[in-house]
Amino acid sequence: MGNKINVAIVGYGNVGKGVLSALKQNADITASAIFSRSPERVKKEGLSLPVYSIDAIEKLKGIDVAILCGGSKDDLPAQGPQFAALINTVDSFDNHSKIPEYFAQMDSVAKKSSKVAVISAGWDPGTFSLERVMGTVVIPNAKMYGFYGLSPKGGLSMGHSDALRTINGVKDARQYTHAIGEAIEKIRNGENPTFTARDMHWRECFVVLEEGADKEKVTQEIVSMPGYFEPYRTVVNFVTEEELKAQYAGFPHDGLVIGAGVLGGGEKALVEYRNTWESNPVATGHILVAHARAAYRLAEERKTGAFTILDIPPAYLTNKSREELLRSFV
């Protein structure tokens, strides 16, 4: 199989591990290297892949696509343009309010370097973006809504878990987001409601306290944290370290894109897309790998610049042949 697409994994956290895991199910793509800010730490994991410093750009030679697995807050704003100046890239940039700016920057860099930069290729943004657009394609006047944590346990939010851990007296914590079912029913009923954040989700925290910390004080600090918890109904549960590890491990998440409206003659219409992941970062890894395939194909066509999932023919994401797609998928 000399014709495999060669990718590099840039950043070996949860998402980077998810990418490596996803490659087991994508036989046409192989990873040839990992790039990390802490190569010595990654080397200790005993992987069979070479691990390089993120600055070892000479090691990108022969690699088709760099899959950027860093975070959107601190890593990608710098790494995205750095890598797009050198190589085709894919990332899951998910800071929604900054996507236009990031797209413009990546587009400009990748056009100059004659490379392809696929951005925001996770599930939200990513496959959910596709569903939001497709919802309004089939129901032009639908308002599209996103819900997270519909499963009984809810969806683990890394960002909110991290926020909890910044609080004095909190030793460890995990936050599960829950969708509010009544809000979803209102949409299904065609009400096209206007919601506040609090109408759509509530938040559940499992907190391990430092010894001697004050439950009341910590609870107050959590529920009043602006942006993260203050706008929501928030339930705080205190658990032992053992309980947290045993019952609240892993990265489960799930979500729903939903929209309803009326068609041209006044006929009611509704679309819903739901995904459920036992592991959020592995799911993101799978989606990144599929977009690395698309990036490679776009580059083969001499396309350049930034792309989102909306700019890519869906067939580019799969390794199924046109014949198989026409026979079994269309």
Per CB under 8 A, residues contacting a copy of itself are 18, 20-26, 96, 99-100, 103, 120, 123, 125, 127, 129-134, 136-141, 144, 263-265, 267-279, 282-283, 285-287, 290, 308-315, 317-318, 320, 323, 325-327, 329-330
Considering the complex, state which of residue 47 and residue 99 has its C-beta at the smaller distance from a copy of itself. Answer: 99
Q: Of the two residues 192 and 219, which places its CB atom closer to a copy of itself in the complex? A: 192
Query: What is d(CA 294, CA 121) in angstroms, rounded to the nearest whole number?
Result: 11
In whole angstroms, the minimum distance from the beta carbon of 62 to a copy of itself comes to 24
Closer CB to a copy of itself, 61 or 322, in the complex = 322
H or E, element range at 268: strand 268-277
Q: Which residues contact 329 (CB under 8 A, 6 or more apart)?
A: 320
* Angle value at C-alpha 72, between 67 and 74, nearest 5 degrees: 110
CB of 284 to a copy of itself, least distance (A): 10
SS3 114: coil
Q: Which is nearer to a copy of itself, 203 or 291 (CB)?
A: 291
Sheet arrangement for strand 51-53 = 51-53, 29-36, 5-10, 65-68, 88-91, 116-118, 305-307
Pairing outcome for strands 65-68 and 5-10: parallel
Q: For residues 280 and 251, is the Cβ–Cβ distance under 8 A?
A: yes
Give the C-alpha distances (Å, rounded to integers) separating 76 from 11, 52, 71, 233.
Answer: 10, 18, 6, 32
What are the strands of the beta sheet with 201-209, ordered from one edge?
155-156, 170-179, 201-209, 234-238
- Nearer to a copy of itself (CB atom), residue 88 or residue 234: 88
* 51-58: long-range contacts, CB 8 A cutoff, minimum separation 24: 51/12, 54/10, 54/11, 54/79, 57/86
Q: Which is nearer to a copy of itself, 89 or 129 (CB)?
A: 129
- Cα separation, 160 vs 176, whole angstroms: 8
**Is the Cβ of residue 109 or residue 312 nearer to a copy of itself in the bound state?**
312
Cβ distance to a copy of itself smaller for residue 233 or 268: 268
Position of tokens 């009984």? 152
Q: 270 and 260 in contact (C-beta within 8 Å)?
A: yes
